[in-house]
Amino acid sequence: MIRLRAREPGTQSTHHNLLFRYGTNRFDPFSGRDMIVFVQIQNAGANFFEKHIIENLNVVEKSLCVCTKKNGRKQNCRCHSDNTILRTGDTPWLFSRLSGGWACGVHAGWTQLVGCVDRVLDEVSGEPRRRRYLYITFLREPVRRFRSEWLRFVEQRETRPSRVLCGSREHALPDVQECFKGVEPAEVTLEEFALCKDNLALNRQTRMLADLRLVNCYDGSINQTQRDMILLHSAKTNLHHMAFFGIAEFPNISQRMFEAAFGVQFRSRPRHRFNRLSSYLKRSPISSNTWSAQTEATVRQVNHLDMQLYEYGKELLFERFHHLFKEGPREDEDPDWADGDDFFMDR
């Protein structure tokens, strides 16, 4: 059993290191104090893994979450410490899109969640409580992730908040639409999408995992080179300190690491939920003649922070996996596992 670092008495720590030594300080969804907080980065596989946790976590005979459905799709799930009662004010053990309904904002990043989760849960419980927050997230190969977000933009299916709370005050967000006034989204190429400086899809993984308060959030007063260096270092630090992180191209390794970190088992392996994306891309006129070596190079260049963060995360994941299981990645991994995350989620 991997031991999770507990909150020190009298502190307001919001995330915990994954410690590679055996102990008894295991995750307990029934304790009323353990809370998994999911930083769900767009198009990175987080939605798939969230559903995997809700549907297939083998902790008790019946599901830990009770979900309502609309048109056959899960709309809201109550993942509480006692699903036999489900009283108002019961303590949830999972804070995520399906279980919380974007209570801290749509696809809230690390900074938003740290400043919001405790307050939201105190309001739910009706009183302040001491909790152990266990932050988790998923990374995805940046070029694949960026292309998936572009496809959502082209289909006009992207939900983008105009303002966000950061550093105790609201900040106006850049709007990618400013780059394409008078242009239909379906006509925007991937390279044009990548070259828009107001595009929050750029280096999204780094920005969502970094402490934005270190760079005055979104006011842009810090030199860009210095800002990039601070954000990347902060994102790496927060990733390292999370109770768990997975990588979309390695779903089986990620699942085994989750099971080891939390002392739980899944009923099944993570499966490729949607196999339609590849055929959709082949049929779609918007994707024809838009994916060249030059375009890929451009996407890599403008997402240089995410490229560095991904390589760091992959190296760290493999190092931890080898330390625990004395083996490396196997050939049965599914690099296309996250294809369609968000893109087909509401179809």
Give the Cα separation of 329 and 57 in Å (integer): 23
* 34-333 CATH, one of 3.40.50, 3.40.720, 3.30.1420, 1.10.150: 3.40.50
Lowest-pLDDT range of 12-16, 173-177, 191-195: 12-16
| Per-residue pLDDT at 327 | 79
**By three-state DSSP, how is residue 168 classified?**
coil
Instruction: Grade residue 41 by pLDDT with cuts at 50, 70 and 90.
Output: very high
- Catalytic residue (one of 107, 240, 304, 322): 107
Domain residue ranges of the chain, discontinuous segments joined by +? 34-333
- Note if the pTM is more than 0.75: yes
Q: What would the pLDDT profile of 42-77 be if each residue is shown by its tens digit?
A: 999 888 899 888 888 886 555 567 777 766 565 678
Is 107 a residue of the active site? yes
| Per-residue pLDDT at 4 | 38
- Residue with tokens 């979309």, as numbered in its chain: 248
* pLDDT of 271 higher than 80: no
Mean pLDDT of 90-101: 81
Q: What would the pLDDT profile of 214-268 be if each residue is shown by its tens digit?
A: 998 888 788 999 999 999 999 999 999 999 999 999 999 999 999 999 988 898 8
Per DSSP, 187 falls in state: G
More confident of the two residues 303 and 178: 303
Comparing C-alpha atoms, which of 256, 252, 149, 153 is closest to residue 207?
149
